[in-house]
Amino acid sequence: MTVVFHLNGKLVQLYKPDPLTTLLEFLRQRKLYGTRVSDGNGIFGCDIVTVVSWDHHANKPVYKSIGALHYPLVYCHGKQIFTVEGIGNKQMLHPIQEQFLNCESFQCGYCAGGFTMAMYTLLRKDSKPSEASIMEALDGNMCRCTAFHPIAAAVASFSSDIEDKEMPICTRKVPFHPENEPEFPAELKNVEVFDYEHEQISPENGKKLFGVKYFTPKTIEELKNTLKENKVNVKMISGASSHQLSTICDNSKANEYTLLSLNNVVELQISNMKEKHIELGSQLTYADVMEFFKGKTTKFAKKLVETLTMFRNTPLRNAETIGAGIAKRGDNDFNLILAAVNAKVQVLDSADNSVSEVSVVTHNKMMRILRYFRNFLNYSTIYINSQNKILIKYYISLHEINVSGKCLQNYQLTPYTPEQWAVHQKILVAYSLES
């Protein structure tokens, strides 16, 4: 019943923490102020930290840039967390920090922590990244002071394909040695997830203020059993984006909650290329979907990856799941792609164990109607499943891709220049099918 993780190289053990607490709130409690709030939506990238998990199939660590603002603290269980304070200090700067200093990259410094950690995550994955990889890694960071030129000069020094003459602002290079970086702790490799109940007690009279039951089912069967045993004020957690978990309290007058995390349900994390269709589990993140389609050579796959690159930004794509996206609203960019190829969604009704399939278009219309009746919270982090219906996976028919639509075409409606490569802008995308 203890949440265990490493924070900046130190073991942290928390006994039954409040599931509504975010990682950013916890960092504030630990006086680690380098991770900042910015706009409150995770768009500017000031809240980026590096989250490392262990992949048992590949037997190696997985590095992700994540926005701490929306990341539940309980998600840190079994992970390694780095903030800007944990990779360097006044006595010994990290090579990334030193290079930013050499190039005089920042003025007010408010965005510095986010840029540093986004670049740190990339270098832990690839010590000699390409220019394209750097552009993608920093698409969730914004700076309102420097016009990005000195920032670009600093990060370009770590690139494998940018010539020195292209970045005349800062000619000094600081070498990065990945072998000097901390390894993933062996004690975290086999940490098991668990369920627990958190209670908040009044310090004045000792009475219970509210309680939260937190469940982490590993299979669909466990999920159905949990729903049968807990039928009041049940809320499902899917991914980590859009709003803090404290919105649960703001949107309900009840003092008892049941939170179900869907992130560990195996059946919801599949990604398969079948003979006639593609299966995508509802708990895949947008980054997972991009990674799956990057290995495919079809026009549809290339256009899908290209479009998702302009969808949100890297930290949000690493955290938000496609299932939560469709529960939030039916008209986001990814769902428009699915609608264009007439994709289907498979929905499980845990009340009678029936499974139904509906088109994304029909499901989108249903989501719009349900929002008016508040059956779903309008946040992609959490959605209420008052009708016991669980989105399992998407079906994308290969016949629809090859016959109905040869290719997806996206249209960028906002100006974009190479100088803006580090800026994440809200891009409006329209989709059409080529005849």
Residue 196 banded pLDDT, cuts 50, 70, 90: confident
- Mean pLDDT over 327-352 rounds to 73
The contacts found for 7-12 with CB under 8 angstroms, 24 or more apart, are 7/76, 7/81, 7/83, 7/86, 8/32, 8/81, 8/82, 8/83, 8/85, 8/86, 8/87, 9/86, 9/182, 11/185, 11/187, 12/76
What's the one-letter identity of residue 64? K
Question: Which residue did the predictor score with more confidence, 198 or 154?
Answer: 154
| pTM recorded for the entire structure | 0.83
Q: Residue ranges of the domains in the chain? A: 1-192, 194-435
**How many angstroms separate the CA atoms of 149 and 152, rounded?**
5
φ, ψ at 361 (rounded to 5°): -60, -45
The fraction of the chain above a pLDDT of 90, given in percent, is 32
Banded pLDDT at 412 (limits 50, 70, 90): very low
**Residue 313, pLDDT above cutoff 80:** yes
Superfamily grouping for domain 1-192: Beta-grasp domain (3.10.20.30)
Tell me the pLDDT band of 342, cut-offs 50, 70 and 90. Answer: confident
Per CATH, is 194-435 categorized as 1.20.1730.10?
A: no
* Segments in 56-212 forming alpha helices (H): 95-102, 112-125, 131-137, 149-156
CA of residue 418 relative to chain centroid, distance = 26
Q: Are 236 and 257 in contact (CB under 8 A)?
A: no
Using DSSP, state whether 212 is helix, strand or coil: strand
Phi, psi angle pair for 429, to nearest 5°: -125, 130
Quickly count: other Cβ atoms within 10 Å of residue 76's Cβ. Answer: 25
Question: Rg for the chain (alpha carbons), in Å?
Answer: 22
Residue 252 phi/psi, 5° resolution?
A: -150, 145
CA dihedral 63, 69, 70, 74 (to 10 degrees): 70
Q: How far is CA 167 from the centre of its chain?
A: 32
Find the range with the poorest average confidence among 53-62, 99-108, 398-407: 398-407
| Residue 291 predicted with pLDDT over 70 | yes
Contact 20, 31 (CB under 8 A): no
